[in-house]
Structure 1
Amino acid sequence: MGGAFAYISVMTVHPILIHPDPRLKSLAKPIDDLSDELRVLADDMLQTMYHAPGIGLAAPQIGRLQRLIVLDCVKGEGMAPRPLAMFNPEILAASDELNTYEEGCLSIPEQYGEVVRPAEVTVRWIDRDGVEQQEDFGGLWATCVQHEIDHLDGRLFIDYLKPLRRQMITRKMQKLKRELARK
Protein backbone atom coordinates (compact mmCIF):
# COMPACT_ATOMS: atom_id res chain seq x y z
CA MET A 1 0.00 0.00 0.00
CA GLY A 2 1.19 3.50 -0.66
CA GLY A 3 0.08 7.08 -0.35
CA ALA A 4 -2.13 8.26 2.44
CA PHE A 5 -2.88 4.73 3.64
CA ALA A 6 0.72 3.68 4.32
CA TYR A 7 0.64 4.88 7.94
CA ILE A 8 -2.36 4.34 10.16
CA SER A 9 -2.19 5.81 13.63
CA VAL A 10 -4.36 4.45 16.39
CA MET A 11 -5.31 7.32 18.67
CA THR A 12 -4.97 6.82 22.39
CA VAL A 13 -7.09 8.53 25.02
CA HIS A 14 -4.84 9.12 28.02
CA PRO A 15 -5.99 9.34 31.64
CA ILE A 16 -5.97 12.92 32.89
CA LEU A 17 -4.23 13.66 36.19
CA ILE A 18 -6.43 15.06 38.95
CA HIS A 19 -5.24 17.85 41.28
CA PRO A 20 -3.44 17.58 43.65
CA ASP A 21 -0.67 15.75 41.82
CA PRO A 22 2.94 16.96 42.03
CA ARG A 23 3.36 16.66 38.24
CA LEU A 24 0.72 19.38 37.79
CA LYS A 25 2.90 21.77 39.80
CA SER A 26 6.14 20.93 37.96
CA LEU A 27 7.94 22.91 35.28
CA ALA A 28 7.72 21.25 31.85
CA LYS A 29 10.92 20.81 29.84
CA PRO A 30 11.41 22.44 26.43
CA ILE A 31 11.17 20.17 23.41
CA ASP A 32 14.55 20.04 21.66
CA ASP A 33 13.71 17.69 18.82
CA LEU A 34 10.27 17.33 17.22
CA SER A 35 10.00 13.55 16.75
CA ASP A 36 7.25 11.40 15.25
CA GLU A 37 6.59 10.18 18.81
CA LEU A 38 5.81 13.76 19.86
CA ARG A 39 3.52 14.26 16.86
CA VAL A 40 1.63 11.11 17.86
CA LEU A 41 1.49 12.42 21.44
CA ALA A 42 -0.05 15.68 20.15
CA ASP A 43 -2.67 13.68 18.20
CA ASP A 44 -3.39 11.56 21.28
CA MET A 45 -3.73 14.71 23.39
CA LEU A 46 -6.25 16.19 20.94
CA GLN A 47 -8.22 12.92 21.06
CA THR A 48 -8.06 12.96 24.88
CA MET A 49 -9.17 16.63 24.99
CA TYR A 50 -12.14 16.06 22.65
CA HIS A 51 -13.11 12.89 24.55
CA ALA A 52 -13.06 14.64 27.97
CA PRO A 53 -14.62 16.99 26.54
CA GLY A 54 -12.50 20.10 26.79
CA ILE A 55 -11.05 22.97 24.75
CA GLY A 56 -7.42 22.68 25.87
CA LEU A 57 -4.95 20.20 27.32
CA ALA A 58 -1.31 20.44 28.37
CA ALA A 59 1.15 17.53 28.37
CA PRO A 60 1.69 17.70 32.17
CA GLN A 61 -2.02 16.91 32.59
CA ILE A 62 -1.33 13.42 31.21
CA GLY A 63 1.92 13.04 33.16
CA ARG A 64 4.32 14.19 30.40
CA LEU A 65 6.51 17.07 31.58
CA GLN A 66 7.12 18.50 28.11
CA ARG A 67 6.20 21.91 26.70
CA LEU A 68 3.30 20.80 24.51
CA ILE A 69 -0.28 22.04 24.53
CA VAL A 70 -3.29 21.40 22.33
CA LEU A 71 -6.42 23.50 22.00
CA ASP A 72 -9.53 23.99 19.92
CA CYS A 73 -11.83 26.80 21.04
CA VAL A 74 -14.30 26.56 18.13
CA LYS A 75 -17.61 26.03 19.87
CA GLY A 76 -20.23 27.16 17.37
CA GLU A 77 -22.72 24.61 16.08
CA GLY A 78 -21.78 23.49 12.59
CA MET A 79 -18.44 25.32 12.65
CA ALA A 80 -15.33 23.47 11.50
CA PRO A 81 -12.96 22.55 14.34
CA ARG A 82 -9.56 24.25 14.50
CA PRO A 83 -7.27 21.88 16.43
CA LEU A 84 -3.89 23.40 17.29
CA ALA A 85 -0.84 21.61 18.65
CA MET A 86 1.79 23.98 20.04
CA PHE A 87 5.29 22.82 20.86
CA ASN A 88 7.29 25.21 23.11
CA PRO A 89 4.58 27.91 23.12
CA GLU A 90 5.49 31.28 24.59
CA ILE A 91 3.61 34.51 25.09
CA LEU A 92 5.46 37.35 23.35
CA ALA A 93 3.04 40.17 24.21
CA ALA A 94 -0.11 40.70 26.27
CA SER A 95 -2.66 43.51 26.13
CA ASP A 96 -3.20 45.92 29.01
CA GLU A 97 -6.92 45.30 28.57
CA LEU A 98 -8.16 42.46 30.78
CA ASN A 99 -10.95 39.90 30.47
CA THR A 100 -12.60 37.85 33.19
CA TYR A 101 -13.67 34.31 32.32
CA GLU A 102 -15.12 31.58 34.49
CA GLU A 103 -12.44 28.94 33.96
CA GLY A 104 -12.51 25.23 34.55
CA CYS A 105 -9.90 22.55 34.08
CA LEU A 106 -9.91 18.89 33.08
CA SER A 107 -7.55 18.23 36.03
CA ILE A 108 -10.00 19.91 38.41
CA PRO A 109 -13.34 18.48 37.23
CA GLU A 110 -16.61 20.31 37.86
CA GLN A 111 -14.91 23.21 39.66
CA TYR A 112 -14.88 26.73 38.25
CA GLY A 113 -13.61 30.16 39.18
CA GLU A 114 -13.39 33.62 37.70
CA VAL A 115 -9.87 34.40 36.48
CA VAL A 116 -8.67 37.75 35.17
CA ARG A 117 -6.16 37.56 32.31
CA PRO A 118 -4.99 39.79 29.44
CA ALA A 119 -7.74 40.06 26.80
CA GLU A 120 -5.30 39.55 23.92
CA VAL A 121 -1.95 37.79 23.61
CA THR A 122 0.62 37.19 20.91
CA VAL A 123 1.94 33.62 21.01
CA ARG A 124 4.87 31.98 19.24
CA TRP A 125 5.22 28.20 18.93
CA ILE A 126 6.54 25.39 16.76
CA ASP A 127 3.83 23.52 14.83
CA ARG A 128 3.73 19.77 14.18
CA ASP A 129 5.76 20.25 10.97
CA GLY A 130 8.57 21.99 12.87
CA VAL A 131 7.64 25.43 11.48
CA GLU A 132 7.67 28.45 13.78
CA GLN A 133 4.24 30.09 14.02
CA GLN A 134 3.06 33.32 15.59
CA GLU A 135 -0.51 34.48 16.09
CA ASP A 136 -2.57 37.02 17.98
CA PHE A 137 -5.37 35.52 20.06
CA GLY A 138 -8.36 37.24 21.66
CA GLY A 139 -11.45 36.24 23.61
CA LEU A 140 -11.79 32.60 24.61
CA TRP A 141 -8.71 31.63 22.55
CA ALA A 142 -6.56 34.10 24.53
CA THR A 143 -7.86 32.76 27.84
CA CYS A 144 -7.39 29.13 26.81
CA VAL A 145 -3.84 29.50 25.47
CA GLN A 146 -2.79 31.37 28.65
CA HIS A 147 -4.44 28.70 30.84
CA GLU A 148 -2.61 25.90 28.98
CA ILE A 149 0.77 27.67 28.99
CA ASP A 150 0.29 28.14 32.76
CA HIS A 151 0.15 24.33 33.04
CA LEU A 152 3.62 24.14 31.47
CA ASP A 153 4.88 26.41 34.25
CA GLY A 154 3.22 24.39 37.04
CA ARG A 155 0.40 26.87 37.56
CA LEU A 156 -3.31 26.04 37.81
CA PHE A 157 -6.30 28.34 37.40
CA ILE A 158 -7.07 27.94 41.11
CA ASP A 159 -3.75 29.65 41.88
CA TYR A 160 -5.49 32.89 40.78
CA LEU A 161 -8.33 32.42 43.29
CA LYS A 162 -8.52 33.55 46.89
CA PRO A 163 -6.77 31.13 49.31
CA LEU A 164 -9.96 29.94 51.01
CA ARG A 165 -11.65 29.09 47.67
CA ARG A 166 -8.45 27.37 46.45
CA GLN A 167 -8.28 25.25 49.65
CA MET A 168 -11.95 24.31 49.35
CA ILE A 169 -11.48 23.13 45.75
CA THR A 170 -8.31 21.21 46.67
CA ARG A 171 -10.19 19.40 49.48
CA LYS A 172 -12.97 18.46 47.02
CA MET A 173 -10.37 17.08 44.59
CA GLN A 174 -8.68 15.05 47.37
CA LYS A 175 -12.08 13.57 48.24
CA LEU A 176 -12.76 12.81 44.54
CA LYS A 177 -9.39 11.05 44.20
CA ARG A 178 -10.14 8.91 47.30
CA GLU A 179 -13.53 7.95 45.81
CA LEU A 180 -11.98 7.09 42.43
CA ALA A 181 -9.28 4.98 44.14
CA ARG A 182 -11.98 2.88 45.84
CA LYS A 183 -13.57 1.97 42.49
Structure 2
Amino acid sequence: MKLPIVAYGDPVLKKVCAPIEETYPNLHLLISNMFETMYNASGVGLAAPQIGLPIRLFIVDTGGDDEKDRFKKVFINAEILEETGEPWAFNEGCLSIPDIREDVMRKPNVRIKYYDENWELHEEEVTGMPARVIQHEYDHIQGTLFTDKLGLLRKRMLKSKLDAISKGYIKADYKMRFPNQSRRR
Protein backbone atom coordinates (compact mmCIF):
# COMPACT_ATOMS: atom_id res chain seq x y z
CA MET A 1 0.00 0.00 0.00
CA LYS A 2 1.28 3.46 -0.89
CA LEU A 3 1.47 5.63 2.21
CA PRO A 4 1.31 9.44 2.30
CA ILE A 5 4.68 11.12 2.75
CA VAL A 6 4.86 13.68 5.55
CA ALA A 7 5.83 17.15 4.32
CA TYR A 8 8.33 19.60 5.72
CA GLY A 9 7.09 21.29 8.89
CA ASP A 10 5.59 18.20 10.51
CA PRO A 11 7.06 17.78 14.02
CA VAL A 12 7.74 14.06 13.45
CA LEU A 13 10.52 15.02 11.02
CA LYS A 14 12.42 16.80 13.81
CA LYS A 15 12.21 14.00 16.42
CA VAL A 16 15.03 11.68 17.39
CA CYS A 17 13.33 8.35 16.74
CA ALA A 18 12.91 5.47 19.17
CA PRO A 19 14.39 2.02 18.65
CA ILE A 20 12.00 -0.83 17.95
CA GLU A 21 11.83 -4.44 19.08
CA GLU A 22 11.65 -7.57 16.98
CA THR A 23 7.98 -7.82 18.01
CA TYR A 24 7.06 -4.49 16.40
CA PRO A 25 3.55 -5.06 14.97
CA ASN A 26 3.31 -5.87 11.23
CA LEU A 27 6.94 -4.92 10.61
CA HIS A 28 7.29 -6.89 7.35
CA LEU A 29 4.10 -5.30 5.99
CA LEU A 30 5.36 -1.86 7.01
CA ILE A 31 8.67 -2.45 5.22
CA SER A 32 6.86 -3.67 2.11
CA ASN A 33 4.60 -0.59 2.16
CA MET A 34 7.62 1.67 2.60
CA PHE A 35 9.33 0.19 -0.48
CA GLU A 36 6.11 0.58 -2.50
CA THR A 37 5.76 4.19 -1.32
CA MET A 38 9.40 5.00 -2.10
CA TYR A 39 9.25 3.47 -5.59
CA ASN A 40 5.98 5.29 -6.34
CA ALA A 41 7.68 8.58 -5.42
CA SER A 42 10.85 7.72 -7.41
CA GLY A 43 13.00 7.87 -4.28
CA VAL A 44 16.18 6.01 -3.38
CA GLY A 45 15.58 6.03 0.37
CA LEU A 46 12.74 6.46 2.84
CA ALA A 47 12.77 6.76 6.63
CA ALA A 48 9.87 5.91 8.95
CA PRO A 49 9.43 9.53 10.13
CA GLN A 50 8.66 10.44 6.52
CA ILE A 51 5.51 8.34 6.80
CA GLY A 52 4.71 9.70 10.26
CA LEU A 53 6.33 7.02 12.45
CA PRO A 54 9.00 8.15 14.96
CA ILE A 55 10.88 4.83 14.87
CA ARG A 56 14.47 3.91 13.90
CA LEU A 57 13.73 2.30 10.54
CA PHE A 58 14.78 3.27 7.03
CA ILE A 59 15.16 1.64 3.64
CA VAL A 60 17.55 2.25 0.76
CA ASP A 61 17.49 1.14 -2.88
CA THR A 62 19.92 2.93 -5.15
CA GLY A 63 18.55 1.05 -8.16
CA GLY A 64 20.60 0.18 -11.17
CA ASP A 65 20.24 -2.34 -13.95
CA ASP A 66 23.01 -4.59 -12.70
CA GLU A 67 22.39 -6.47 -9.43
CA LYS A 68 26.04 -6.11 -8.40
CA ASP A 69 25.72 -2.30 -8.60
CA ARG A 70 22.39 -2.21 -6.79
CA PHE A 71 22.33 -1.39 -3.08
CA LYS A 72 19.00 -2.39 -1.53
CA LYS A 73 18.71 -2.81 2.24
CA VAL A 74 16.54 -2.38 5.31
CA PHE A 75 18.08 -0.65 8.34
CA ILE A 76 16.52 -1.18 11.77
CA ASN A 77 17.91 0.55 14.88
CA ALA A 78 20.89 1.73 12.84
CA GLU A 79 23.87 3.43 14.40
CA ILE A 80 26.54 5.14 12.32
CA LEU A 81 29.81 4.27 14.04
CA GLU A 82 32.16 6.30 11.87
CA GLU A 83 32.21 8.65 8.88
CA THR A 84 35.54 9.03 7.09
CA GLY A 85 37.10 10.58 4.01
CA GLU A 86 37.24 14.00 2.43
CA PRO A 87 33.74 15.58 2.41
CA TRP A 88 32.20 16.02 -1.05
CA ALA A 89 29.23 18.03 -2.23
CA PHE A 90 26.25 16.47 -3.94
CA ASN A 91 22.92 17.98 -4.92
CA GLU A 92 20.42 16.29 -2.59
CA GLY A 93 16.66 16.30 -2.48
CA CYS A 94 14.09 14.77 -0.15
CA LEU A 95 10.64 13.26 -0.67
CA SER A 96 9.39 15.32 2.31
CA ILE A 97 10.72 18.52 0.71
CA PRO A 98 9.67 18.32 -2.96
CA ASP A 99 11.11 20.70 -5.55
CA ILE A 100 14.06 21.79 -3.41
CA ARG A 101 17.54 20.48 -4.14
CA GLU A 102 20.73 21.77 -2.55
CA ASP A 103 24.40 20.85 -2.37
CA VAL A 104 25.17 19.04 0.88
CA MET A 105 28.65 18.11 2.10
CA ARG A 106 29.06 14.53 3.36
CA LYS A 107 31.97 12.18 3.92
CA PRO A 108 32.23 9.34 1.37
CA ASN A 109 32.56 6.40 3.78
CA VAL A 110 30.43 5.17 6.68
CA ARG A 111 30.71 2.29 9.08
CA ILE A 112 27.24 1.34 10.27
CA LYS A 113 25.71 -1.19 12.62
CA TYR A 114 22.08 -2.22 12.10
CA TYR A 115 19.55 -5.04 12.06
CA ASP A 116 18.03 -6.16 8.77
CA GLU A 117 14.39 -7.17 8.25
CA ASN A 118 15.18 -10.68 9.57
CA TRP A 119 16.72 -9.23 12.77
CA GLU A 120 20.23 -10.25 11.81
CA LEU A 121 22.85 -7.87 13.16
CA HIS A 122 25.28 -6.35 10.64
CA GLU A 123 28.27 -4.07 10.89
CA GLU A 124 29.66 -2.94 7.57
CA GLU A 125 31.52 -0.26 5.68
CA VAL A 126 29.70 1.47 2.83
CA THR A 127 31.20 3.93 0.36
CA GLY A 128 30.15 6.34 -2.37
CA MET A 129 26.54 7.01 -3.28
CA PRO A 130 25.07 4.26 -1.04
CA ALA A 131 26.95 5.82 1.91
CA ARG A 132 25.46 9.22 1.07
CA VAL A 133 21.92 7.82 0.91
CA ILE A 134 22.46 6.03 4.22
CA GLN A 135 23.66 9.27 5.84
CA HIS A 136 20.64 11.17 4.49
CA GLU A 137 18.16 8.55 5.78
CA TYR A 138 20.04 8.17 9.07
CA ASP A 139 19.72 11.92 9.54
CA HIS A 140 15.92 11.47 9.32
CA ILE A 141 15.86 9.06 12.28
CA GLN A 142 18.03 11.55 14.17
CA GLY A 143 15.53 14.39 13.52
CA THR A 144 17.73 16.16 10.97
CA LEU A 145 16.78 17.26 7.45
CA PHE A 146 19.22 18.03 4.65
CA THR A 147 18.12 21.68 4.84
CA ASP A 148 19.49 21.77 8.41
CA LYS A 149 22.96 21.27 6.92
CA LEU A 150 22.76 24.43 4.81
CA GLY A 151 24.25 27.78 5.71
CA LEU A 152 22.13 30.40 7.45
CA LEU A 153 21.87 32.63 4.37
CA ARG A 154 20.76 29.74 2.13
CA LYS A 155 18.16 28.67 4.72
CA ARG A 156 16.75 32.21 4.79
CA MET A 157 16.54 32.23 1.01
CA LEU A 158 14.54 28.97 1.09
CA LYS A 159 12.20 29.95 3.94
CA SER A 160 9.23 31.00 1.78
CA LYS A 161 9.49 27.83 -0.33
CA LEU A 162 9.67 25.67 2.79
CA ASP A 163 6.66 27.46 4.32
CA ALA A 164 4.73 26.88 1.08
CA ILE A 165 5.53 23.16 1.22
CA SER A 166 4.30 22.87 4.82
CA LYS A 167 1.03 24.56 3.79
CA GLY A 168 0.50 22.23 0.83
CA TYR A 169 1.11 24.87 -1.85
CA ILE A 170 2.99 22.38 -3.97
CA LYS A 171 2.17 19.73 -6.51
CA ALA A 172 3.90 16.40 -5.87
CA ASP A 173 3.58 13.31 -8.03
CA TYR A 174 2.79 11.25 -4.94
CA LYS A 175 0.43 11.45 -1.99
CA MET A 176 1.57 13.78 0.77
CA ARG A 177 0.37 14.92 4.19
CA PHE A 178 0.91 18.62 4.91
CA PRO A 179 1.12 19.80 8.53
CA ASN A 180 -0.08 23.38 7.99
CA GLN A 181 -2.55 22.95 5.15
CA SER A 182 -5.66 25.04 5.56
CA ARG A 183 -8.94 23.16 5.41
CA ARG A 184 -10.56 25.64 2.98
CA ARG A 185 -8.28 25.02 -0.01
Contact preservation (8 Å) 1:34, 1:130: no
1:124 is aligned to 2:113 = yes
Quick one: distance in 1 between partners of 2:24 and 2:141?
19
Q: State yes or no: 1:30 paired with 2:11.
A: no
Distance 1:112 1:130, change over 3 A: same
Instruction: State the secondary structure of the residue aligned to 1:143.
Output: helix
Pick aligned residue for 1:65 from 45, 54, 61: 54
- Long gaps (5+) in structure 1: 1-11
Give the fraction of aligned pairs with identical amino acids, expressed as a percent. Answer: 37
Q: Partner amino acid for 1:127?
A: D
Q: Distance in 2 between matches of 1:158 and 1:126?
A: 28
Equivalent residue number for residue 99 of structure 1: 88
Which is richer in helix? Answer: 1
How far, CA to CA, are the matches of 1:63 and 1:111 in structure 2?
Answer: 21
1:151 partner SS: helix
**2: CA distance, partners of 1:72 / 1:178:** 27
User: Is the 1:100–1:117 contact (alpha carbons within 8 Å) kept by the matching residues of 2?
Assistant: yes
- Identify the residue that residue 86 of structure 1 maps to in structure 2: 75
- Deviation of 1:135 (Å): 2.0
Q: What does residue range 7-26 of structure 1 map to in structure 2 within 5 Å?
A: 12-26=1-15
Contact 2:71 2:130 in 1 (8 A): no
| Higher RCO (C-alpha 8 Å, min separation 6) | 2
Partner Cα distance (2:6, 2:160) in 1 = 16
* Deviation by residue 1:59-107 (Cα, 9 ceiling, x = unmatched): 0000000000001113x3x324543111011111211322211111001
Q: Does the CA contact (< 8 Å) of 1:97 and 1:120 recur in 2?
A: no
Aligned residues: 170
Structure 1 match to 2:104:
115
Q: Bigger radius of gyration, 1 or 2? A: 1
Following TM superposition, by how much is the alpha carbon of 1:122 offset from its aligned partner in structure 2, in angstroms?
A: 1.0
CA distance in 1, matches of 2:157, 2:5: 21
- TM-score, normalised by the number of residues in structure 1: 0.85
Which residue of structure 1 lines up, in the alignment, with residue 140 of structure 2? 151
Equivalent in the alignment of 1:179: 169
Q: Deviations over 1:140-159 (max 9, x none)?
A: 11110001000001000011
